[in-house]
Each structure stands twice: as C-alpha cells, then as structure tokens.
Chain A
Amino acid sequence: MTPRSAKRGLVRPYVITDGRAHPTRNTFDLVTLVSAAQGGDLAGLSPEKRRVMALCRGGSLSVAEVVGHLQIPVSVTKVLLGDLVDSGHILTRSPIPSAELPDIKILQEVLDGLRARL
C-alpha cells in the first residue's frame, strides 16, 4: 500500500474556474428551517409556490427536506422560498449559518443527544 503522503502532490490542487454567476439569494442553506406563516393568502401564487406552501403548512422542515419531498432542484427551491419569504408566506427558523466555529454548547448538545441514543 502506498501512503497518502506520497501521493498527495499528484492529485492536487486542481484549479477550477467557476465562471458561473453567484445566485443573488444566498440566504438559504440546506438546513435552514422553514415553515408557513399564519394566514397568508395563496391567491396569485404560481403552482410551484402553492406546492411549497401545501408542504410547509404541515409544520417545520429544512430546505433540504422541501427539495426531497417536492423533487425540485435545490437552486429552484431556494428561489421559490426566497420569494415566499419576501411575500410573507414563509418564515425561516434558524439563523443564516456562518463560517465561524460552532458554538461549544451546540457541540455538547449534539454529543449528549447522540449518546442518549446508545
């Protein structure tokens, strides 16, 4: 077996030019939690947005779950949800994730939660 250190230089780094425009709406992560706002008139919403609302009226879900249940691409889902937040139909639950170190309290809670499953 060849150690990884001997191979490292061969495989990287790749320089990949990402020429694509960044999405204007960068506020959603796959684990941002969303739910339907109370009330919210559905009149005038597109069929896709109605599908999102019908799903989200049942309770809270992550963006990833909305994608998975409705089987629409991540990028499209983010745009639909962004519009629905702007129009007051959808509320987001968790804050925008940051690149900062995770809170030690959250890590402790994750550990406790996992240990409780053993």
Chain B
Amino acid sequence: MGSALASEDVYLPDTVQTAVKLLVVGHFAVGKTTFVGTLSEIRPLRTEETMSQAGAHTDDLGGVPHKTTTTVALDFGRLTLNEHLVLYLFGAPGQQRFTQLWRDMTQGALGALVLADTRRLEHSYDVMGLLEEHGLPYAVAVNHFDGAPVFAEEDLREVLDLLPEIPLVTCDARDTRSSTQALISLVQYLYTRNTQEHA
C-alpha cells in the first residue's frame, strides 16, 4: 500500500472502532514517561505544541496580561485491548498551567492516574488541583523510588487529602505487571463510580 512506515505494527487492526484515553500525570521526573513506555505496545511517541501561557500574577494588577510561549510535550502510548477497542495513555506535565492543553487533554478522557513520589508529595498538589478543576476522576499511584521514604497508607491519604473512595496504590513504573495493576485500580474505581451515578 506504499505506507510511509516500514513496520505494519504501527497501525491499528482494521476492526478497531473505538479509542479511549487515560492520562498519566504528575510532577517533574515522577516517572510518567517511564510508566507510559512500560505499558505501550508501540514505541512511545510525543506530540508537541507551542502554548501561550497567560502570566499567572498579572490579573490583580489590572494590566495587560503578559504571555509567554513554551513548547509542551505529551508522551503517549497505545494498548489495543480487544479487536475493536484501543486505549491511549497520555503522560502529561502538571507543574505548569496551560489552560488550552489541559482542556484538550481532559476532554474525552475517562480518568487520570496521578503518579506521586514520597520524597516530594507536596509537588503533587498542583496536578490534583487541576484534575479537580477539570472534573476528571483520578486515582493515585505512589511510584516507589529506591531509598524513598515509606509511609502508612493513612498518613499518605492525609497528606494528599484524598477522599476515602479514591484508590491509593504503590507501583514501580518500570514494571509491566505493577503498572498494569495501578491502571486496573483506576479503571475499577471509574467503573464503580459510574455504576453508582447511574443507580
């Protein structure tokens, strides 16, 4: 067929009809790219977009909001789940506020997995706040780094201010099984929430 790519594996089976997406979010260097790469069946790809970001503190001053432009990259991967359904995972930065990017990313997403690091839990607050503002349900997975402190679940929940129903799991983003299990916890939660809202 004269395709631009040598490997046929890059394409989806012709039977796939539906695509869904989940976000993998978290602060700088928390393991987002690693997580997406561990689970993806294709070589992870990235999308880049130049974003203009409104200056965050200019509003109070009543002046013309000053804008800066930055390139924002999203890593993503793909998991074909059955002959007609494909799941895309998008790894997205959470430390900066790009309204347009977050609107695009959260639109149509089923939910998000927040990766957290026990050495800097407070760095997860921003991204959790963003998900709440966009109304996207999430679960939290502590990506365990060697030598990072280990806390009791109730302490972690208190520090992260998690509602009791929000799943909190531990994972190793380098390990397929552990990362798959973290995603399952998220989707199980989305499923339960959905059945309750329809009840």
Contact = CB atoms under 8 A, between A and B. Distances in A.
A and B associate: yes
Interface of A: 1-5, 7-8, 11-20, 29-33, 51, 54-55, 57-62, 64-65, 67-69, 71, 73-75, 93-94, 97-99, 101-102, 104, 106-118
A62 B4 CA distance: 15
A68 B36 CA distance: 15
Interface of B: 1-5, 8, 10-12, 14, 16-21, 42, 45-50, 52-54, 56, 59, 65, 74, 76, 78-79, 81-82, 85-88, 90, 97, 99-100, 104-105, 107-108, 110, 121-122, 125-126, 128-129, 133, 155, 158-161, 176-177, 180-181, 183-184, 187-188, 190-191, 194-195, 197-198
A1 B52 contact: no
A58 B191 CA distance: 35
A102 B195 CA distance: 11
Contacts of A64: 45, 47, 74, 76, 88, 90
A17 B57 CA distance: 11
Nearest to B47: A67
Nearest to A68: B45
Contacts of A71: 48
